[in-house]
Amino acid sequence: MSRFVSLKASSRLLNRRATALTTASIMRRMASSYPTSHAKIENPGKTQGYVNNQYVDSGASKWIDLHDPATNNLVTRVPQSTPQELTAAVDAAEEAFKTFKNSSILSRQQIAFNFVKLIRENWDRLAASITLEQGKTLPDAKGDVLRGLQVAEAACNVTQDLSGQFLEVSKDMETKMYREPLGVVAAICPFNFPAMIPLWSIPLSIVTGNTLVLKPSERDPGAAMILADLARQAGAPPGVINIVHGQAPTVDFILDEPRIKAISFVGSDKAGKYIHQRGTANGKRVQANLGAKNHAILLPDANKNASLNAIVGAAFGAAGQRCMALSALVTVGETKSWVQEIVERAKKLKVSGGFEEGTDVGPVISPESKQRIYDIIDSAEKEGATIALDGRSYTAEGYPNGNFVGPTVITGVKPGMRCYDEEIFGPVLVVLEEENLDDAIALINRNKYGNGSAIFTNSGATGYKFQKEIEAGQVGINVPIPVPLPMFSFTGNKGSFLGDLNFYGKAGIHFLTQYKTVTTHWRSEDAVATKASVNMPTHN
């Protein structure tokens, strides 16, 4: 199997040279050349940092091996950036801010326009990087890029989104209120959306005039590395977008570095609670999107065929590794008898390497994650649930060493069981039964998470009741994964979010900017005041 595809005849020579280079360096440099299979990489390279618009080698003493989840072959080594490298990234961002904050909004909007175009041109390359490092199927990886691209597109509307307020508050006296960038901001990203989640920060940071230090997940930084260089090509000046790498030491550096004003975190509860607590204690703004357990209610009046397809797709797509994966199904009344059809449809999904044509479900991120999912399925059995479809011990043909878990359906689940109480983050659907809508809504509202929730019904009135009573922050009515497009914000709530201002949309712009008010008084008469007033100004 060939590892690279060449789109242009003229790039053939380059491609031949490329096979002698590292995958990481190739994926960075050539929009027309990227991996197309899970073939073993002969000389896996090291991932570099990105500072001042340049890729920089790391002098790290600690390296994190990154394996292709489909094969567990080594893809690259990711550095634990050294303290000097981390400081250099913030130095670059701080220096860049001095001039970037004064750049015109139209020039920043132009960068966003160019960035959108470049992401489109590099779409396949970005997706290939994601499939190789993260494991999701190539079409799904393209969707990962698209959902991030849409944030970049929405960021182009900054001239509207940043417009302020103005009022003549008294004769010849005007107050204007507008928003200014914060300075150096940081983003700490999870593994499951290697392009989309960095793109929740990069374009908005640029258009608002901030400078960014971004830490991708150490498990799949390739897409973020490509995006940083696309931002350079789009016109972002040196120091505006910087990438650092690593685990807790990098995060602690970001949390304690006084020049970083705000942190956007997306990831698990454990890391997010810690980051929110320590970041806010250090006086920073923190927005933290956390874990989830997303429920769907299946009502007897629903369109059965469409609902079952939607449930299967949303439960097992991306191998269940979406924060908005539909992981808990609540059947109401007779729809419990429909679950067998969900099992039959789930059995038909093809589980294989993400580059393979027709694959529906790729591997999970790591052997540890696979083992944890197995353990949770084991626990469900022990706690009295039924494994209606068992994805344990699943081997994908041609991929004996991959982290594959087959689609799994667990029925007879109750709150208090580990498989319900914990986010599984794998291709596992747990099914609970209720006899009526009120009890189903009450069950969901008792759950600590509030990322998303869906209902399948053909009644508008029922959908409206659900919308009003459900406590989750993103609601779908016949929509299984109700993540809004970025002219809105990502509005998870309860245990799925810490902070005050959500990601992207108007809230995202607010998070990255602060208000300033200016009151001016230019007297229209040529007055020469001779006596000072010492009273509190009342603007009369």
In whole angstroms, give the CA distance from residue 154 to residue 170. Answer: 37
- Of 331, 210, 310, the residue nearest 262 (C-alpha): 210
Cβ of residue 317: shortest distance to ligand NAD, in angstroms? Answer: 14
- Three-state DSSP state, 198: helix
78 contacts ligand NAD (rule: CB under 6 A): no
- What is the footprint of ligand NAD within residues 236-255 (CB under 6 A)? 247-248, 251
User: Between residues 14 and 487, which has the closer beta carbon with respect to ligand NAD?
Assistant: 487
What's the start-to-end Cα distance of the chain, in Å?
Answer: 79
Q: Which of 69, 291, 391, 452 binds ligand NAD (CB under 6 A)?
A: 291
292 contacts ligand NAD (rule: CB under 6 A): yes
* 3-state DSSP of 148-186: HHHHHHHHCCHHHHCCCEEEEEECCEEEEEEEEECCEEE
501 contacts ligand NAD (rule: CB under 6 A): no
- Of 248, 241, 238, the residue nearest 268 (C-alpha): 248
> Going residue by residue from 461 to 500, which x/- string records binding to ligand NAD, judged by CB under 6 A?
-----------------------------x-x---x----
User: Between residues 356 and 423, which has the closer beta carbon with respect to ligand NAD?
Assistant: 423
| Residue 505: Cβ within 10 Å count | 21
Query: Catalytic residue numbers?
Result: 323
Q: Which of 140, 161, 218, 257 binds ligand NAD (CB under 6 A)?
A: 218
203 contacts ligand NAD (rule: CB under 6 A): no
Cβ of residue 269: shortest distance to ligand NAD, in angstroms? Answer: 7
Cβ of residue 292: shortest distance to ligand NAD, in angstroms? Answer: 5
> Going residue by residue from 440 to 459, which x/- string records binding to ligand NAD, judged by CB under 6 A?
-----------x--------
Could you tell me where the DSSP H helices lie in 172-247?
198-208, 222-234
User: Between residues 151 and 387, which has the closer beta carbon with respect to ligand NAD?
Assistant: 151
Whether the CB-CB separation of 187 and 193 falls below 8 Å is answered with: no
DSSP state of 490: B
- Three-state DSSP state, 521: strand
In whole angstroms, give the CA distance from residue 493 to residue 481. Answer: 15
- What is the footprint of ligand NAD within residues 298-337 (CB under 6 A)? 323
CA angle at residue 102 from 96 to 108, to 5 degrees? 80
Using CB under 6 A, which of the segments 62-70, 184-192, 377-385, 456-464 binds ligand NAD?
184-192
User: Between residues 271 and 302, which has the closer beta carbon with respect to ligand NAD?
Assistant: 271
Cβ of residue 266: shortest distance to ligand NAD, in angstroms? Answer: 5
In whole angstroms, give the CA distance from residue 176 to residue 517. Answer: 6
User: Between residues 201 and 457, which has the closer beta carbon with respect to ligand NAD?
Assistant: 201
In whole angstroms, give the CA distance from residue 476 to residue 453. Answer: 6
Q: Which of 38, 136, 215, 336 binds ligand NAD (CB under 6 A)?
A: 215
Q: Which residues bind ligand NAD (CB under 6 A)?
A: 188-193, 215, 217-218, 247-248, 251, 266-268, 271, 274, 289-292, 323, 423, 425, 451, 490, 492, 496
